[in-house]
């Protein structure tokens, strides 16, 4: 069992990573605040792991709130059903929420914890690779609005995160690969050695080798934790974590979030960022090739599943900009392992980049 600490002053917390982490009931017990627990999970995860969590709990009062599965349910309306569970069962401020599921369950449970009686404790038990390496660090919680993703939320830190590598055995292969996209992202933006390690160990990871998984999750969380500790509310360096995401969001938007997973869109987005960095004269063509090869080794796409219109992608990127910031900033690469923010680039460079894929 590995234990990694996310350093955020009085909001610091540990991430436990490893095989059987969930079976060690003392971990959960240590981090529960108060004598009441609400477990939030979904219809897919509940049959697999809910009993295991319930068995590990020894508190006076436990309530379960089972949500429908899927990003389309990440809404204020579903959030309200968590509040319904809390209030119908008269949960006091001394309640700890446990998020048992992937990113959607984690984001909503964290936001519900941030808001219920103006803030109660919560623990994350991420059950997908993506949520283990992404949403378990950083405290970003949110729900979607009909007019924009993650538009309503809070920065709110958990008491602890328990990333059990065993739960990945029940994760569909395509979702596992989507999680690998974010793992690769950390190497690409901040750690050339880790990127090389991923190239060497892609096969073991794809075969769910426990030690390889633990290390990949640990190093990913470490890199993210280091960046988040320096910039909790995304005023500057935290934006580097968006590598591949502006392109990726545009692809998801144009595809209306159908037929592509977030991690898959990010994979294509990272390749676009690599192409753009090469066209700008920063990245070597050989490095672009390495990115492509590693993505493929993890069964990730390097182009969209169907032809998309380049102008639609451009519009979607500009729309993204209008709502979230003043100007279009992209995360580009100086080399494998070194990213930078760039808002001063030519339209022609962007056009050329999009032409490599669309």
The reply on whether position 72 binds its own copies by CB under 8 A is no
| Region from 108-116, 170-178, 179-187, 303-311 binding its own copies, contact rule CB under 8 A | 108-116
Q: Which is nearer to its own copies, 118 or 306 (CB)?
A: 118
Nearer to its own copies among residue 154 and residue 338 (C-beta): 154
Our CB check for its own copies shows the closer of 79 and 288 to be: 79
Tell me if residue 238 is catalytic.
Answer: yes
DSSP state of 337: T
Asked if residues 21 and 167 have their Cβ atoms less than 8 Å apart, the reply is: no
224 is an active site residue: yes
Among candidate residues 74, 262, 275, 314, the one labeled active-site is 262
Go through 172-199 and write b for each residue having 16 or more CB atoms within 10 A of its CB, e for each that does not.
eeebbbbbbbbbbbbbbbbbeebbebbe
Positive or negative: CA dihedral 114, 93, 79, 56: positive
Q: For residue 146, what are the contacts with CB-CB under 8 A and spacing of at least 6? A: none
Q: How far apart are CA 329 and CA 343, in angstroms?
A: 4
Grouping H, G, I as helix, E, B as strand and the rest as coil, residue 334 is: strand
When asked if residue 145 is in the footprint of its own copies (CB under 8 A), the reply is yes
Of 73, 222, 242, 342, the catalytic one is 242
x-or-dash pattern for its own copies, window 244-283, by CB under 8 A?
----------------------------------------
Query: Using the 8-state DSSP alphabet, how is residue 88 labeled?
Result: H
Exactly one of 50, 54, 154, 192 binds its own copies (CB under 8 A); that residue is 154
Q: How far is the CB of 324 from its own copies (least distance, A)?
A: 6
CA distance 230 to 342: 19
| C-alpha separations of 326 from 94, 341, 348 in Å | 41, 14, 20
Specify the DSSP class assigned to residue 48: I
The CA radius of gyration of the chain, in Å to the nearest whole number, is 20
* Residue 299 Cβ vs its own copies, minimum distance, rounded to whole Å: 33
CB within 8 A of 324, min separation 6: which ones? none
| Catalytic-residue membership of 242 | yes
155 contacts its own copies (rule: CB under 8 A): yes
Residue 275 among the catalytic residues: no
Q: Which two tokens stand for residue 284?
A: 């070597």
Q: How far is the CB of 156 from its own copies (least distance, A)?
A: 9
Q: Do the Cβ atoms of 110 and 124 come closer than 8 Å? A: yes
Let me know if 182 is a catalytic residue: yes
Selecting among 238, 264, 275, 342, the annotated active-site residue is 238
Q: Is residue 122 a contact residue for its own copies (CB under 8 A)?
A: no
Q: Which 79-98 positions form the footprint of its own copies (CB under 8 A)?
A: 79-80, 83-84, 87-88, 90-94
Dihedral (C-alpha) 39, 42, 45, 46: value to the nearest 10 degrees? 60
Point out which span in 114-122, 125-133, 164-172, 250-258 binds its own copies (CB under 8 A).
114-122
153 sits near its own copies (criterion: CB under 8 A): yes
Closest to its own copies by CB, 19 vs 89, is 89
By CB under 8 A, tell whether 115 contacts its own copies: yes
Binding positions for its own copies, rule: CB under 8 A: 76, 79-80, 83-84, 87-88, 90-94, 114-119, 140, 142, 145, 147-148, 151-155, 233, 322-326
Residues designated as active site? 118, 140, 182, 224, 234, 238, 242, 245, 249, 262
């Amino acid at each position: 069992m590995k234990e990694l600490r996310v350093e955020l002053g009085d909001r610091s917390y540990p991430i436990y990573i490893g095989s059987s982490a969930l079976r060690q009931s003392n971990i959960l017990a240590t981090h529960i605040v108060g004598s009441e627990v609400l477990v939030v999970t979904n219809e897919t995860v509940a049959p697999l792991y809910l009993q295991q969590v319930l068995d590990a709990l020894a508190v006076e009062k436990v309530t379960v709130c089972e949500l429908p599965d899927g990003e389309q349910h990440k809404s204020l309306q579903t959030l309200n059903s968590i509040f319904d569970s809390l209030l119908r069962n008269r949960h006091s401020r001394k309640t700890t929420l446990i998020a048992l599921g992937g990113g959607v369950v984690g984001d909503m449970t964290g936001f519900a914890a941030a808001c219920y009686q103006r803030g109660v404790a919560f623990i994350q038990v991420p059950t997908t690779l993506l949520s283990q390496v992404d949403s378990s660090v950083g405290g970003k919680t949110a729900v979607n609005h009909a007019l924009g993703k993650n538009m309503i939320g809070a920065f709110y830190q958990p008491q602890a995160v328990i990333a059990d590598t065993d739960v990945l055995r029940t994760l569909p292969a395509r979702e596992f690969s989507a999680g690998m996209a974010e793992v690769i992202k950390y190497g690409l933006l901040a750690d050339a050695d880790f990127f090389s390690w991923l190239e060497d160990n892609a096969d073991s990871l794809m075969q769910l080798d426990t030690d390889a998984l633990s290390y990949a999750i640990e190093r990913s969380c470490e890199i993210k934790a280091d960046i988040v500790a320096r910039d909790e509310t995304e005023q500057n360096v935290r934006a580097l974590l968006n590598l591949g995401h502006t392109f990726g969001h545009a692809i998801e938007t144009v595809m209306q979030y159908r037929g592509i997973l977030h991690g898959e869109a990010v994979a294509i987005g990272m390749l676009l960022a690599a192409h753009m960095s090469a066209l700008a004269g920063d990245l070597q063509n050989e490095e672009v090739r390495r990115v492509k090869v590693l993505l493929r080794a993890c069964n990730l796409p390097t182009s969209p599943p169907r032809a998309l219109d380049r102008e639609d992608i451009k519009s979607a990127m500009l729309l993204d900009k209008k709502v979230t910031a003043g100007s279009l900033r992209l995360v580009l690469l100086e080399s494998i392992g070194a990213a930078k923010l760039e808002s001063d680039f030519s339209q022609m460079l962007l056009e050329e980049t999009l032409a490599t894929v669309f």
